[in-house]
């Protein structure tokens, strides 16, 4: 038989065990409460759920917290085991959710509320010049353009002078060809020019190779605030300008825009209309006081100029812009595990063959599909159509559950690939509207075209005979009518 001392010892051990189990329960409850509070805070900050749903989730989680704590207090022995497991599992789930929520907020914040254009103005010398820095070129005479982008050039010159502590000697030239001739003939030893202008030499006969004959010795970043249009209620129909470059570079840097699409979005009807406008369209720019130029050149003067120029062409108010880098798009599509792109023509590009019908494309293949223009008789017109087809394929893919397979990879590729002037709250309003209504989007597209011609009277390249496309006025009117149709809630009829 067990003596009294042994019984007291067993009773004491049992009591101590109960105390330890209660302490463990309190600790688990405290951890769960802490994570619950952080989770509720993240749900509110993420702002993709309605207030009612967010409050409901908070009340339910706090209720579970109280139940688990009371059960662990009431049944401190084996029967509380199940509630400890529930507490641990809930805490782990909420901790993972907090991480994903934080990553989502961080990614969207980097994409949203962009209101700055960055113009790169650089100093160049001839390739064989010994100078490798502005200090080396301190006594050089710099050629600058007399009128083109003079505001940003003057800012860059001022930055250079402040860094050097001395004045730069400059010489003005009226045109890009005169500027190039100045340095190649030795009349000047250096240039100060907007980097975006170098791409214009590809359109100038006899000067196509000029950018390869010079080297950059310094670069100056000029920031300009983008003037906002009246902000749209993102849950109602709106028009957005989609601008893009298909070369490697930062998405926010000012350059020629190779993608010029107006997206008309109606969240109420689920209609999205993409209208492509050829880069060579010969139209007045918003800043050119009636002088016509290639549409693509508007990008050199900033996204505000491109946005407003297209608004003038279609006589539509363009509320917002969305800027993308097709090269960065490559990583996004790989993160989505590829996209299914519909092609209406068979062609080959960059070593890939594309068939009529559905093509499952990875990032490199999709980029090749969107870039090609020389394989088509209609050139840039077909390229614009293909770019819209890639965008349509991405829209379809992000609506599918498969986006969850590599969600973090998709988030990682947002930064550097996309920028928009939509605020964070406007982006999350779109998500809330989508989750509330479960909208099935119907994406349609339309391309305007025109007649090829030559012109020596362009705003950006005066006196230079360059290829342009005169707009087909009937097609432009049709595009405007389609925009009005989607804005009014109708399904666009594209013949």
C-alpha dist (Å) from residue 241 to 37, 213, 264, 319: 40, 36, 9, 8
> Closest Cα partner for 468 from 292, 285, 286?
292
Distance CA 331, CA 123 (A): 32
Q: How confident is the model at residue 494 (pLDDT cuts 50, 70, 90)?
A: confident
Q: Which two tokens stand for residue 298?
A: 């508007």
- Establish if 104 belongs to a structural domain: no
Taking 3-state DSSP, the helix, strand and coil percentages for the chain, each rounded to the nearest 5, stand at 50, 25, 30
- Establish if 18 belongs to a structural domain: yes
> Closest Cα partner for 125 from 166, 186, 196, 198?
186
Note the pLDDT of residue 346.
Answer: 93
Prediction pTM value:
0.79
- Establish if 380 belongs to a structural domain: yes
Whether residue 353 has pLDDT greater than 90: yes
Note the pLDDT of residue 6.
Answer: 53
Note the pLDDT of residue 409.
Answer: 77
Q: How confident is the model at residue 157 (pLDDT cuts 50, 70, 90)?
A: very high
Distance of CA 151 to the CA centre of its chain: 27
> Closest Cα partner for 447 from 392, 394, 494, 489?
494
Are 460 and 339 in a shared domain?
Answer: yes
Q: Which two tokens stand for residue 88?
A: 């641990």
> Closest Cα partner for 393 from 347, 445, 346?
445
- Establish if 31 belongs to a structural domain: yes
Are 154 and 247 in a shared domain?
Answer: no
Are 77 and 179 in a shared domain?
Answer: no
Note the pLDDT of residue 126.
Answer: 96
Mean pLDDT of the chain: 84
Are 419 and 463 in a shared domain?
Answer: yes
> Closest Cα partner for 445 from 484, 397, 488, 483?
483
pLDDT tens figures, 395-413: 888 877 777 677 777 777 7
Distance of CA 206 to the CA centre of its chain: 36
Please identify, among 225, 250, 273, the residue that sits at the C-terminal boundary of a domain. Answer: 225
Note the pLDDT of residue 134.
Answer: 95
Q: Mean pLDDT: which of 24-28, 233-237, 368-372 is highest?
A: 368-372
Distance CA 239, CA 336 (A): 26
pLDDT tens figures, 52-84: 776 677 777 777 777 776 766 666 555 566 777
Distance CA 106, CA 110 (A): 6
Are 381 and 476 in a shared domain?
Answer: yes
Which phi and psi (to 5°) does residue 420 adopt?
Answer: -150, 155
Are 220 and 245 in a shared domain?
Answer: no
The CATH number of whichever domain residue 292 belongs to comes to 3.40.630.190
Are 132 and 270 in a shared domain?
Answer: no
**DSSP run (H or E) holding 185:** none
Note the pLDDT of residue 49.
Answer: 72
- Establish if 198 belongs to a structural domain: yes
Are 305 and 212 in a shared domain?
Answer: no
Distance CA 216, CA 252 (A): 20
Distance CA 322, CA 486 (A): 19
> Do residues 180 and 201 touch, judged by C-beta distance below 8 A?
yes
Q: Which two tokens stand for residue 85?
A: 């497991």
Whether residue 439 has pLDDT greater than 80: no
Q: Summarize the confidence of residues 225-252 as an average pLDDT.
A: 74
Whether residue 266 has pLDDT greater than 60: yes
The 10 Å CB-count burial string (b at 16+, else e) for 200-224 is: bbebbeebeebbeebbebbebebeb
Q: How confident is the model at residue 116 (pLDDT cuts 50, 70, 90)?
A: confident
pLDDT tens figures, 217-238: 999 998 887 776 666 678 889 9
Are 266 and 183 in a shared domain?
Answer: no
Q: Summarize the confidence of residues 375-391 as an average pLDDT.
A: 85
> Do residues 356 and 345 touch, judged by C-beta distance below 8 A?
yes
DSSP code string of 381-415: HHHHHHHHHHHHHHHHHHTSGGGGGGHHHHHHHHB
Q: How confident is the model at residue 17 (pLDDT cuts 50, 70, 90)?
A: low
The CATH number of whichever domain residue 121 belongs to comes to 3.40.190.10
- Establish if 156 belongs to a structural domain: yes
C-alpha dist (Å) from residue 440 to 1, 368, 433: 78, 29, 12
- Establish if 107 belongs to a structural domain: no
C-alpha dist (Å) from residue 352 to 327, 367, 378: 17, 11, 20
pLDDT tens figures, 274-312: 999 999 999 999 999 999 999 999 988 888 899 999 999
Q: Summarize the confidence of residues 157-186 as an average pLDDT.
A: 93
Residues 6 or more apart in contact with residue 92 via CB below 8 angstroms: none
* Structural domain of 28: 14-98
- Establish if 109 belongs to a structural domain: no
Lowest mean pLDDT segment, chosen from 5-14, 95-104, 138-147, 330-339: 5-14
Note the pLDDT of residue 144.
Answer: 95
Are 318 and 393 in a shared domain?
Answer: yes
Note the pLDDT of residue 248.
Answer: 55
How far the first Cα of the chain sits from its last, in Å, is 99
pLDDT tens figures, 325-349: 766 678 888 888 899 999 999 999 8
Distance CA 458, CA 454 (A): 10
Distance CA 328, CA 374 (A): 22
Please identify, among 225, 247, 274, the residue that sits at the C-terminal boundary of a domain. Answer: 225
Distance CA 171, CA 166 (A): 16
**High-pLDDT (> 70) share of the chain, %:** 87
Are 461 and 316 in a shared domain?
Answer: yes
Note the pLDDT of residue 380.
Answer: 80
Are 317 and 451 in a shared domain?
Answer: yes
How many domains, in total, are found in the chain?
A: 3
Please identify, among 201, 225, 249, the residue that sits at the C-terminal boundary of a domain. Answer: 225
């Amino acid at each position: 038989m067990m003596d009294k001392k042994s019984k007291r010892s067993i009773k004491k051990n049992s009591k101590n065990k109960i105390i330890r189990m209660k302490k463990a329960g309190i600790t688990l409850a405290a951890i769960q409460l802490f994570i619950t509070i952080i989770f509720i805070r993240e749900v509110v900050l993420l702002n993709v759920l309605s207030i009612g749903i967010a409050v409901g989730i908070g009340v339910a989680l706090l209720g579970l917290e109280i139940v688990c704590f009371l059960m662990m207090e009431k049944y401190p022995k084996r029967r509380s085991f199940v509630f400890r497991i529930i507490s641990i599992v809930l805490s782990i789930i909420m901790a993972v959710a907090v991480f994903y929520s934080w990553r989502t907020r961080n990614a969207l914040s980097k994409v949203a509320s962009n209101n700055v254009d960055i113009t790169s103005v650089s100093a160049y010398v001839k390739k064989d010049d010994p100078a490798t820095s502005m200090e080396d070129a301190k006594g050089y005479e710099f050629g600058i353009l007399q009128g083109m982008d003079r505001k940003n050039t003057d800012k860059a010159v001022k930055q250079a002078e402040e860094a050097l502590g001395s004045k730069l000697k400059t010489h003005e030239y009226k045109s890009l060809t005169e500027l190039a001739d100045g340095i190649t003939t030795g009349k000047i030893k250096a240039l100060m020019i907007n980097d975006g202008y170098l791409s214009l030499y590809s359109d100038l006969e006899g000067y196509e190779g000029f950018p390869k004959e010079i080297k950059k010795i310094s670069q100056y970043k000029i920031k300009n605030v983008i003037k906002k249009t009246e902000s749209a209620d993102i849950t109602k129909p709106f028009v957005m300008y989609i601008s893009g470059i298909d070369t490697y570079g930062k998405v926010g840097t000012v350059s020629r825009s190779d993608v010029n699409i107006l997206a008309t979005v109606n969240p109420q009807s689920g209609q999205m209309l993409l209208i492509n406008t050829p880069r060579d369209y010969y139209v007045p720019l918003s800043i050119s006081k009636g002088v016509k130029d290639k549409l693509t050149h508007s990008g050199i003067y900033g996204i505000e100029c491109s946005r407003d120029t297209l608004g003038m062409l279609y006589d539509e108010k363009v509320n917002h812009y969305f800027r993308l880098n097709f090269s960065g798009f490559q990583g996004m599509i790989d993160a989505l595990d590829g996209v299914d792109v519909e092609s209406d023509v068979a062609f080959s590009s960059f070593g890939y063959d594309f068939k009529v019908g559905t093509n499952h494309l990875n990032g490199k293949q999709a980029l090749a599909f969107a870039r090609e223009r020389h394989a088509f008789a209609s050139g840039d017109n077909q390229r614009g159509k293909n770019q819209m087809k890639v965008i349509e394929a991405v829209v379809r893919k992000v609506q599918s559950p498969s986006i969850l397979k590599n969600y973090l990879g998709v988030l990682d590729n947002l930064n550097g690939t996309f920028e928009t002037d939509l605020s964070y709250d406007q982006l999350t309003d779109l998500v809330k509207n989508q989750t509330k209504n479960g909208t099935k989007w119907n994406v349609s597209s339309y391309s305007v075209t025109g007649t090829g011609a030559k012109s020596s009277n362009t705003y950006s390249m005066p006196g230079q005979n360059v290829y342009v496309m005169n707009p087909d006025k009937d097609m432009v009117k049709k595009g405007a009518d389609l925009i009005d149709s989607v804005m009014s809630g109708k399904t666009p009829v594209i013949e």
